[in-house]
Amino acid sequence: MFGWPLTHKEPLMTQSRFLTVLLLLFVAAPATWASVNRLDGNAYPVEQSIKLTIDPSTAAYSGSTVIALRVKTTAEDFSLHADGIEISSLELLTPTGPLEARHALQGDVLTVTPGAPLQPGEYTLRIEFSNEFNTQAVGLYRMEAEGIGYAYTQFEDIDARKAFPCFDEPAFKIPFQLTITAREQDTVVSNTPIASESTEEGWKTIAFKQTKPLPTYLLAIAVGPMDSIEMPGLPVPGRIYTPKGMAGLATYSAQMTAPILAALQDWFGMPYPYEKLDFISIAEYWPGAMEHPGAVTFADRILLLDAQQVSASQRRTVALVIAHELAHQWFGNLVTMEWWDDLWLNESFADWMGDKIVVQLYPEMRHDLVEMGSVNDIMRTDSQATAEPIRQPVEQAGDLIANVGLAYAKGKAVIAMFERWIGEAAFRSGVQQYLEQNAWGNAEAADFWSALSEAAGADVASSMATFLEQPGLPLIEVSAADNTITLKQSRFANYGVELAPQTWRIPVALRVGADDRVLERTVLLTEPEMQVAIEGVDSIDWIMPAADGSGYYRWSVGDEPLKVLVTDASNILSDRERFALMGNLGAALDGGMIGGDTHLQAVSSFANDPEPLVISAVLDELDKVDNTFVTPELEEAFAAYIKRSLSPVVDRFGVAQRADESETVTAFRPRLLLWMGAVARDESIIAWARETSAQYAHDPAAVDPSLAGVSLRIVAKDGDGDLFDDFAQRFEKTNNPAVRSNYLRALGAFDDPAIRERALAYSLTGPLRPNEMFTIPSGIAQTNEGANRSFRWITDNYAQISQRMPPLFIPFLARFGGGCDAERLQRAKAFFGDPAHQVEGTAKQLEKTETGVVDCIRLREREAGNVAAYLTASM
């Protein structure tokens, strides 16, 4: 699955902390586990066929299934999964005839009890059933776009059982054969090519070819009046399916797929494992995408682009999401985790691989820098006292929600660190061995580590384990005397927080300036303290403790050496290292190693860095300063500071795209202009925004697609009710997902309190899709006062909101109590502490929210004076 752009903060755009937090839920939440019931496996499926009659213009569907079973030892009964399904008949057969059997559905477990004990051997289970379509975008669900009904599936992790009876666990990896009866005008897509098709009285019945062995969570079905176009250049047949009339917006993405697939085949040293590769674009889709073999599903906002109007960030996002989902075809699909405790590995690997492919195929995007933003964000999350290990046993309800939160970004950073340590070639050969040994079956993380250790000729597993089975991250304190470097490790903690001591086995990559030379050393730090002598060197001038900006750890070098790094950064540090330095400065502030004034002064010196993406990392830090310290009284000083810091950058890059500029300039400009227009309130940028937004209204194609959205949001800030109506009308009228999204976000950018009220009401009463309902409240929550208002919107409308979203995301509504405000936190604790407003997982999210608020308030109390003094002194 891919949450992007919802999993990560859009690194080039200012986004509210709430949107970021809410959107984190897409990484964090695999499913509601309120009723996780693990099957004993004594009776297990060998293959399954499923017949469904699906008419998305009605509320219900019906079907039947035949499951070939094997029973290992004598048993009274056996169970499989079915959740909320009406069972109309159930028959259990032996090879010689039917057996008498009772069945009972309790929770999501369907138990079958024969009249006499079940003997080992082969059985067939036949079930007829009916069900209502789900309306919260999980299981087999229906939705409408432009008044037309469509039916889709989304099963990961445990929602296949909501669609039909099945053995809904990843270890039951078996061939499936699907047959779908649909209205003649509907198109039907599933994982495999069509084997046969017949029509009768306005209905058609499509039998799909049997799948390769798959776990239930990877099955996919789409039914509706879809259009499609071919994806050229693939080694297997492949099309992009869209809602009716939208196929023209799929041409850009269609062109991107073949090179990405080819690069992956090359890296894995293995052809794409399935018979076809279709993409399905869905209007109401909460995750970014999902890797079903042969039928990858995508949110339309990612896949459907106007080919003449693709912004730099859209281009990078679509490449990244396609690469992530296609990486899963090998890692996750061909070889599947045995149980959900290794889901993190599935996702970490796909994220890491997706990054690698995008960096390789599109070097101009500088994704090697952009991806560092998500790692920095996750390090901040992982620094909190409530952080948990990414790998833990998953035994009971709620475990998975707690564990997977860090999977994508922490996991990929750890994988990258160890790849760097053992070398790219050894790492790749370890992955290839792992895939060959476990093809079409299941495996565990331990199998992966042993393949890597074998390929590397080194013990990778025990070092990896220190990062995966312990929470948090290390802080490495680095000092030097003569030619000797001392490394000390401890657990990084935010200021004032006591955490139990831990030790990691850390591949530390050092870049060292000594005797006018630059050297690189990687050492495995396994003890609390270690000394490294640099041979042939008299004295050490400077040390960058995270060479190439890599490594899942924070570091500290002391005041004077830090000054040297900051001052000489442009001469001695690479752009990745300068990017990493920004995040590490933020951590030093959080950890109490530097004051708020020193932090501001240091990051400010990179505000006009040669690399625009480093300036973007500066803005990440300033975002934090804004959210933590900038009260209404400080707003003017902060605005002046931003204007002074960023004006030279605007002068350097201009407000319009230049023919010869690098893609990172194009990608960064919208964020720059948004800060100058919305935070600094620079008159010339506001005038630019007025002109640009007017032009966009007249003809969207006439405006740089990267800049349209920010111009609308800048103008909205002091816009009136007429402008709101105009934006709402344009939002409703367009069928271009990018234009739709630009106007919707702008609707949440008005400052006028009365318009905000209208906007919040519109989120629930306007023609928004359920997965769009948080866009406006998140925009409003940019300020503390706005955050209070959005929080009240959540609590006032909790019943309605929670009914419209997938249940797995509901716990994360508690995060709307986050920020830096003790009173809002108290209200959140009162509201979400009430059992009437809780689902499985809410309490844990509330606890994490509280930790974040307490840390933020403590930081503000400690450093507000220093920050205010710095900002006002330099006014």
The contact set with Zn ion (CB under 5 A) reads 1-2, 347, 350
In the complex, least distance from residue 296 CB atom to Zn ion, rounded to whole angstroms: 10
Residue 759 is classified by DSSP as H
Closer CB to Zn ion, 7 or 384, in the complex: 7
In the complex, least distance from residue 287 CB atom to Zn ion, rounded to whole angstroms: 9
In the complex, least distance from residue 260 CB atom to Zn ion, rounded to whole angstroms: 15
Residues 125 and 90 sit within 8 Å (Cβ to Cβ) = yes
d(CA 322, CA 455): 28
In the complex, least distance from residue 418 CB atom to Zn ion, rounded to whole angstroms: 20
Closer CB to Zn ion, 350 or 646, in the complex: 350
In the complex, least distance from residue 344 CB atom to Zn ion, rounded to whole angstroms: 11
In the complex, least distance from residue 473 CB atom to Zn ion, rounded to whole angstroms: 23
Amino acid identity for residue 187 in this structure: T
Pairing between strand 78-81 and 109-114?
antiparallel
Q: Which two tokens stand for residue 233?
A: 């250049």
Amino acid identity for residue 430 in this structure: G
Q: Greatest CA separation found in the chain?
A: 90
In the complex, least distance from residue 345 CB atom to Zn ion, rounded to whole angstroms: 11
Strand partners for 134: 141
- The SS3 assignment for 565 reads helix
In the complex, least distance from residue 346 CB atom to Zn ion, rounded to whole angstroms: 7
Q: Directed axis angle between helix 683-698 and helix 708-717, to 10°? A: 120
d(CA 455, CA 412): 19
d(CA 114, CA 101): 4
Closer CB to Zn ion, 31 or 350, in the complex: 350
End-to-end CA distance of the chain: 47
Closer CB to Zn ion, 2 or 774, in the complex: 2
d(CA 330, CA 342): 15
In the complex, least distance from residue 328 CB atom to Zn ion, rounded to whole angstroms: 5
Residues 272 and 258 sit within 8 Å (Cβ to Cβ) = no
Quick one: which of 303, 159, 135 has its CA closest to 219?
Answer: 159
In the complex, least distance from residue 327 CB atom to Zn ion, rounded to whole angstroms: 8
Closer CB to Zn ion, 2 or 750, in the complex: 2
Q: Does an H or E element contain 114, and which?
A: strand 109-114
d(CA 218, CA 205): 22
Alpha-carbon dihedral angle through residues 328, 333, 334, 340, given to the nearest 10 degrees: 110
In the complex, least distance from residue 816 CB atom to Zn ion, rounded to whole angstroms: 26
Long-range pairs of 807-810 with CB within 8 A, sequence gap ≥ 24:
807/32, 807/136, 807/138, 807/839, 808/29, 808/30, 808/31, 808/32, 808/138, 808/401, 809/25, 809/26, 809/29, 809/286, 810/32, 810/839, 810/841, 810/842
d(CA 354, CA 324): 4
Closer CB to Zn ion, 1 or 365, in the complex: 1
CA dihedral (403, 405, 406, 408) positive or negative = positive
Closer CB to Zn ion, 2 or 553, in the complex: 2
Closer CB to Zn ion, 400 or 760, in the complex: 400
Residue 166 is classified by DSSP as B
In the complex, least distance from residue 263 CB atom to Zn ion, rounded to whole angstroms: 18
Closer CB to Zn ion, 325 or 682, in the complex: 325
Closer CB to Zn ion, 287 or 373, in the complex: 287
Closer CB to Zn ion, 1 or 853, in the complex: 1
Within 13 Å, how many C-alpha atoms sit on residue 443's CB side? 25
Closer CB to Zn ion, 291 or 382, in the complex: 291
Closer CB to Zn ion, 2 or 504, in the complex: 2
Quick one: which of 740, 746, 774 has its CA closest to 760?
Answer: 774
Strand partners for 224: 187
In the complex, least distance from residue 808 CB atom to Zn ion, rounded to whole angstroms: 15
Closer CB to Zn ion, 159 or 347, in the complex: 347
Closer CB to Zn ion, 284 or 351, in the complex: 351
Q: Directed axis angle between helix 842-873 and helix 822-833, to 10°? A: 170
For every residue of 240-294, DSSP letters joined together read EEESTT-GGGGHHHHHHHHHHHHHHHHHHTS---SS--EEEEESS-SSSEE--TT
Closer CB to Zn ion, 2 or 831, in the complex: 2
Plot region of 107 (φ>0 → left; ψ -120 to 50 → alpha; else → beta): left
Quick one: which of 257, 339, 325, 256 has its CA closest to 293?
Answer: 325
Alpha-carbon dihedral angle through residues 456, 458, 459, 465, given to the nearest 10 degrees: -50
Residue 678 is classified by DSSP as I
CA dihedral (160, 166, 167, 170) positive or negative = negative
In the complex, least distance from residue 333 CB atom to Zn ion, rounded to whole angstroms: 10
Closer CB to Zn ion, 54 or 350, in the complex: 350
Closer CB to Zn ion, 226 or 327, in the complex: 327
Cα–chain center distance at 50: 32
- Alpha helix segments (H runs only) across 73-224: none
In the complex, least distance from residue 408 CB atom to Zn ion, rounded to whole angstroms: 8
In the complex, least distance from residue 337 CB atom to Zn ion, rounded to whole angstroms: 12
- The SS3 assignment for 832 reads helix
d(CA 609, CA 613): 9
Quick one: which of 408, 419, 418, 403 has its CA closest to 466?
Answer: 418
In the complex, least distance from residue 56 CB atom to Zn ion, rounded to whole angstroms: 27
In the complex, least distance from residue 860 CB atom to Zn ion, rounded to whole angstroms: 36
